[in-house]
Structure 1
């Protein structure tokens, strides 16, 4: 008792600036262990501490006798910020930045997913709030320090922050995680706000040419492209499957196929088993954006929220002169991820959302895939009957995280050990999604919309992160894959293209979502001579380089041989082979592709920012 009185008495006699500085520093130490896996004493003392002291000195300077509520408010705000960044990192493997506040409207829709991954250890960020009770009981004595001294120290702290930001910027670190770790999380957010950590000098518009893009990708124009116009004047239906990963294709559990309908479709389709996601912060909406534009997502904003007000060259606009009518179908509200603006920017003539599909049978954000397909096909038939060709995007959402399929819709029996786990729920959800793919095919056939349709199915993004599985789930996944589940496996999503007049074929070509548009327009016999695009036709080019900048740090890329992830620079990065997923030796060829991948992103960012604002 005597010892506890001594401790509390000592604490209370301290100036609040000392106590709250110690508490906030303890939170930062905890945060660094959660997110970066270690603590760097130099970063803590020379980069994090000056920022914290500056905040507290400003409170002393400006708040006067009412300083205590401001200390608690500051502590609460920064606790919430650190918690949010930690949760975001667990969910996406990337850092939450101040720009993501534009996505705050999406939180309500993601509540169930956030609860699913919430770690009870996160509550330690708020343990200091018990001090509020202590302060109400005792009257702490503030040390009397002249305000002039606070002003001097504040200036010193501000200078230390600027110097630390400048020092890290000089290292030219591309990897956002490493930059934040080196700079300190608070300083990193400050650097982002003033623009130092986000954008280098934008390229001149005259430098953004298709010839330059092809040079960076290592491709040359093909005089007579293979399969050009093979699907000329055919209808185009593209189905984007939520969180659908490629390992599901052909997977059997206890002798039963998880995806029998997609497996059946393989027998009359082009199948690309080495196809990878390239989404940014917008995830599903970014996949839609890439499909329709062949432009890379930015690293700091969802494309639908940042560029929904622009006039964007797109697949819908390309096809309109060829007598196509475009429509997009999404069972959630159009305002989610600003799709109401994005679809206008992309030139879609018809849009259907939650108000059309209703809530008769709801899974996750909206109507089930069964409802999606049953209400969509009659609308497609109307377009066909009007004398127009169809270009339609269908966004299937029934396999959205947290993978909780209503029991009455379950079509697959999972092993007992997986029941109640995220992996088990994922298998059940994707098996249901596949059952409805079969339903869609039957509906298209029954309405005369199947035979002459270029039908495309692809996955939008990772469902289960490489570090998201418990020991039991990881063991099952390793057994199914024949190897450990990794970032490379999680990025691998399926691409199937049922092309009228073309036999089924498995194509090992490495590709990404950026390549969908040029591949589709080649099959349709449409040229893009006057349009900038960053992908390549997967039927005419065998080599590829795919920049990544979300879920993996900027500077990561996939090519025909490896997945590369940078460290502080290229030279301390890591690479694994696509064939074996074993560590690969970095050779000069890969260093050159690292530079070219970054240049492609830079050109794409400059191009999309140059697009004109859409006139009302």
Structure 2
């Protein structure tokens, strides 16, 4: 199958171990024996005409292009009439032609990547009474109910790479390390990728990333300025905590929300402190700001219980790891609330700021428990699909304050439900268009978050493909959901070709820039 059908580098490890065994496979890597993907990549790079044709075929930064899933025509200027009827936009945001391009121009952007926030948390009966603030917020937001993970080996960093570059991770290595010379503390090759921070920089924005771990984690201290183009990066070192102490290598953070008998024991800062930093940064400068905060909790193995034990969870006969994860519902709700309401219950929502929250990857719990939580029998691949499904929502507050379920919040200007499949790649394209960023025709490949256009999300670890109302494995097309689903050969081939093109763009430095200049 690998030699004939799915010549994608992320599949090589699975194929090699299955056919050679672990140690022979690692020997082939050590001695750099040529593989089918390397030959294929070399062939495509040498045949630049063919590569250019595929680049143009999949590029969606064009006035007109054809979607290979339904063969319909779309473009890079979404108008209100082409949106799902389930999404409503306040007329104050529109110009005369009701185009969505540039409706957020000049506003601040807070793009929040949430650690391990799975969608099923909001949907299972066991937690139906949890998340009171999030449920209110979703009513004033666009809720992306079918948002899926596309990460590979790099998990959290892969999610941010796709969101910030509009390209999938390779699935078998990390972009943040692949070209870095650790001893010289620099990148061997200056990365020329187009990114969201670079686009916002070109439009006069402050661009800042904020993370609760040490700056060296995932090599972000070099990757953020050198690859992504952030002007500033706040890491754990930039969060002084006078009441923090070290014990056995673990930092105990007492000064944010926790007393000595109920404290936050992790190697990272509290996400409450992260949220406070975001609110303060919005008002620091007199020009628009793009902030990219990443939360750290709940993080596997889910040892820290923020509030109560939730004894009722015991009724579901779940694995211990699953029960630990479910106990974090209070923490999720209170941390997201903290981005908008301070510790003294003061409303701190900025009406000149757009907020987009999205999960990075699944929670890592095993198959079996999902069926129990949904109280119905699910196939293994259906459970796998649910475990890849994440929370994502867009909140665009206006100036009017409203009260819902006892919570004061600002009324959303864009709200409703998007029930079509969406993923991290689509965030990149959508923010470019919604903020009216001039990209000099740099290509992008996602669909608009708010459009009617169909798309797919590729899990770059397992090579699963999720589409509207269906899912299948690229490694074995017999594995599919629903089981009567027919996988179109043309769609399969297009996804495979796009994945190979994607890997060339993100691995071979300078190819994206050359194609952009050649294919104008």
Matched, 1:201 2:97: no
Cα 1:406–1:490 change in 2 (3 A) is: closer
**Cα distance 1:583–1:460, how it changes in 2: closer, same or farther (>3 A)?**
same
- The answer on 1:562 being equivalent to 2:444 is no
Matches within 5 A, 1:563-582: 563-567=471-475, 570=477, 573-576=478-481, 582=482
SS at match of 2:293: strand
Q: Is the 8 Å Cα contact of residues 364 and 398 (structure 1) preserved in structure 2?
A: no
Q: In structure 1, what is the Cα distance between the partners aligned to 2:436 and 2:450?
A: 13
How do 1:327-476 residues align onto structure 2 when only pairs under 5 Å count? 327-344=208-225, 345-358=227-240, 359=251, 360-361=253-254, 362-382=264-284, 386-406=285-305, 409-410=307-308, 414-417=312-315, 421-443=320-342, 449-467=349-367, 473-474=369-370, 476=372
Other structure's SS at 1:322 match? coil
Find the counterpart in structure 2 of residue 608 from structure 1.
506
Q: Show the counterpart of 1:498.
A: 395
Conserved in 1, the CA contact under 8 Å of 2:144 and 2:393? Answer: yes
CA distance in 2, matches of 1:419, 1:486: 15
Partner residue in 2 for 1:537: 448
Equivalent position SS for 2:206:
strand
Provide the C-alpha distance between the structure 1 equivalents of 2:348 and 2:374, rounded to a whole number of angstroms.
42
After superposition, the CA RMSD in angstroms is 3.0
Higher RCO (CA 8 Å, separation ≥ 6 residues): 2
2:426–2:449 CA contact under 8 A, matched in 1: yes
Paired residue secondary structure (1:404):
coil
User: Normalising by structure 2, what TM-score?
Assistant: 0.74
Aligned pairs, number: 425
The alpha-carbon deviation at position 478 of structure 1 amounts to: 3.2
Please tell me whether the aligned partners of residues 510 and 542 of structure 1 are also in contact (alpha carbons under 8 angstroms).
no
Aligned to 2:244: none
- Higher strand residue share: 2
| 1:410-448 deviation per Cα after TM superposition (whole angstroms, max 9, x unaligned) | 485552356981111111224312211112111499586
In structure 2, what is the Cα distance between the partners aligned to 1:197 and 1:270?
Answer: 43
Match in the other structure for 2:133: 261
Match 2:75 to one of 218, 222, 229: 222
Q: Distance in 2 between matches of 1:539 and 1:172?
A: 32
CA distance in 1, matches of 2:40, 2:66: 19
Which residue in 1 is equivalent to 2:207? 326
Cα distance in 1 for partners of 2:347, 2:397 equals: 17
> What is the SS of the residue equivalent to 1:265?
helix
Match of 1:235 among 105, 108, 111: 108
Query: Is 2:150–2:458's contact at 8 Å kept on the other side of the alignment?
Result: yes
- Equivalent in the alignment of 1:212: 57
Structure number, greater radius of gyration: 1
Secondary structure of the corresponding residue to residue 397 of structure 1? coil
8 Å CA contact retained: 2:146, 2:422: yes
C-alpha displacement of 1:293: 0.6
Counterpart contact for 1:562–1:584, Cα < 8 Å: no
**Any idea what the Cα deviations from partners look like across 1:540-593, whole Å, max 9, x if unmatched?**
34210223320x14xx322223211134x65xx3211xxxxx313324x2x221
Aligned counterpart, 2:91? none
Closer, same or farther: CA 392–171 of 1 in aligned 2, 3 Å: closer
2-structure distance, mates of 1:373, 1:189: 43
Determine if contact 2:322/2:365 at 8 Å carries over to the other structure.
Answer: no
Tell me, in whole angstroms, the C-alpha distance in 2 between the residues paired with 1:357 and 1:410: 28
Counterparts of 1:120-199 in structure 2 under 5 Å? Answer: 169=3, 175-176=11-12, 177-192=14-29, 193-196=32-35, 198-199=37-38
- Partners of 1:598 and 1:396 lie apart in 2 by 33
Tell me if structure 1 keeps the 8 A contact 2:149–2:457. no
Distance (whole Å) between structure 2 residues aligned to residue 441 and residue 220 of structure 1: 40
User: Contact between 1:316 and 1:326, CA under 8 Å: does it hold in 2?
Assistant: yes
> Could you say which residue in structure 2 is the equivalent of 1:478?
374
Give distance in 1, aligned partners of 2:196 and 2:2: 41
Task: Write the deviation string for residues 159-197 of structure 1: whole angstroms up to 9, x where unpaired.
Answer: xxxxxxxx9846866544345313333333334432315
TM-score normalised by length of structure 1: 0.63
TM superposition shift of 1:466 = 4.1
Residue 235 (structure 1) shift: 0.7
Give 3-state SS (helix, strand or coil) of 1:522's partner.
helix
| Residue equivalent to 1:23 | none
Larger helix share, 1 or 2: 1
In the other structure, the counterpart of 2:483 is 583
Give the match for residue 48 of structure 1: none
Kindly state the Cα deviation for residue 481 of structure 1 after the two structures are TM-superposed: 9.4
Distance 1:342-1:481 versus aligned 2 partners, 3 A rule? farther
Residue 491 of structure 2: aligned partner: 593
- Cα–Cα, structure 1 residues 173 and 607, in superposed 2: closer, same or farther, change >3 Å? closer
Residue of structure 2 in register with 1:85 after alignment: none
